[in-house]
Amino acid sequence: MAEFTIGERLLLHLYTYRSVNPEDYYNIPWELTQDGISSSLGISRAHASIELKRQKEKGTIVETLVRIKGGKVRRIAYSLNEKGLKAAMDLEDKVNAAGLDMKSLIDFKKQDPTQVLEGLNEGDRKALGIACAFRLSVPVNVLPEHARNVVPADVNGRTTITPELRNRILSAAKGDELGEWHSYAADYYDRYGRESAIEDEDSRKVERVYHLVKAGRIRDAHKIVADNLYAMLLSDDRGLYEAVRDLPDADIKPKYMLELMILRTELALSQNDLKTARESAEKLITIEGGEEYGFACLAECLMLRRKEDEAKDVISKINKSGNALGMLKLAEIYLDLEEIDRAEEQFAAASKIVSDNNLAAVVEKFKVEARIDAARGRTDDAVRHLSKAYVSTNAVGKANLKVLGNSLGLRIRELTGSDFS
């Protein structure tokens, strides 16, 4: 099989930018700088410097002082001269004759991930793995110490990990590496807060829970989920759903099962994964404290699958149970399905059996009533009922109601001002 040296790969890399005019001083791609070349080829900056020096001595490249796209300072860019173009064209013929994909030679992101990781020292391997564990771009300086340009980054020093590279590198992790990489990412969002570039606190918590679950730190994930369940349910985050869905039940301790199973069920419904939703709802029914919620979610799943007869049986069971929370949850299901009339009818039936001594049911009653008000365009009534729920619940409940208020289009100041005094 044909092999290509770093110098040859460098020429091929520059060859892909042969249409760029080096005299267009203000519009030169970053990939033509020493940093860009080293990042693209997956080599250190020092190695790139050595190879560029060799090519200059061979007379195949030229240097031009330019301004890079998105950059504020002038930098040296490299391009092929006539001799370099001829050499690169010969190499292209060699690549084609060998039946190879040239991108796999010049694009670090296309290279075999196992070989990439095995070619790195421990620190560089860890930094690249963590960078790929992150779902979002982060500053490279928050990663463990590593050789410059081991991690693909833009001119502003933020990681540029493509989905393809992320999947390839993560799939090549060995032993406990994957968990360690995700654990580092989870702690980053806790440590840096708003400086993490995610200003919304709920979104940061979702991101942290995703990484905690992937890292196997279920206890830490559970605490955040339990305290911020509504924010998690409203996240509609595909990655979080897949992480929770794929978590083996055997790995979840009984005391964490209720909230995590609620999260799995609701996210499955939001992702229209009705098979998982039904399985999770049926699991919920068997968990202490989850029976009513599970039956309501099962009813929603059956209605979405157009299994009306089965759904009616479950709905009948909920209403005959005389459990106010279960009946109110069913009213919320109707709201989720945008069946407002049925929601109002269900709410009216449930309200009749809500006892003032059942604080959880009282809070749920006001919350459902607020959602119905919002659906009917009665904003003032929605705020009033949310305010009643707010003053009747604990800190976790208050946080969840703020999230609900945002989802209903009610500004936070309306929920935290005199309405709740």
pLDDT in tens, 372-409: 999 999 998 998 888 888 888 877 678 778 888 888 88
The Cα 323–Cα 194 span in angstroms is: 42
For residue 11, pLDDT beyond 90: yes
For 411, counting Cβ atoms within 10 Å of its Cβ (0-12 exposed, 13-18 middle, 19+ buried), the class is exposed
Please report the pLDDT score of residue 420 as a whole number.
41
pLDDT computed for residue 113 by the predictor = 67
> Residues 208-222: what's their mean pLDDT?
94
The pLDDT of residue 116 is 67
Q: Is the pLDDT of residue 351 over 60?
A: yes
Please report, rounded to a whole number, the percentage of residues in the chain having pLDDT higher than 90: 36
Q: What are 261-287's pLDDT values in tens digits?
A: 999 998 998 898 999 999 999 999 999
Q: Is 411 helix (H, G, I), strand (E, B) or coil?
A: coil
Prediction pTM value:
0.65
- Cβ neighbours of residue 157 under 8 Å, at least 6 residues apart? 139, 140, 141
Query: What is the per-residue pLDDT for 419?
Result: 46
pLDDT per position as a tens digit, 125-178: 999 999 999 999 999 999 998 876 678 887 788 888 888 888 888 998 998 999
Confidence of residue 2 (pLDDT cuts 50, 70, 90): low
Residues 6+ apart with CB under 8 A from 175: none
How does pLDDT run across 177-206, given as a tens digit for each residue?
Answer: 999 999 999 999 988 876 777 878 888 999
Beta bridge partners of 67: 74
CATH topology of domain 6-109: Arc Repressor Mutant, subunit A (1.10.10)
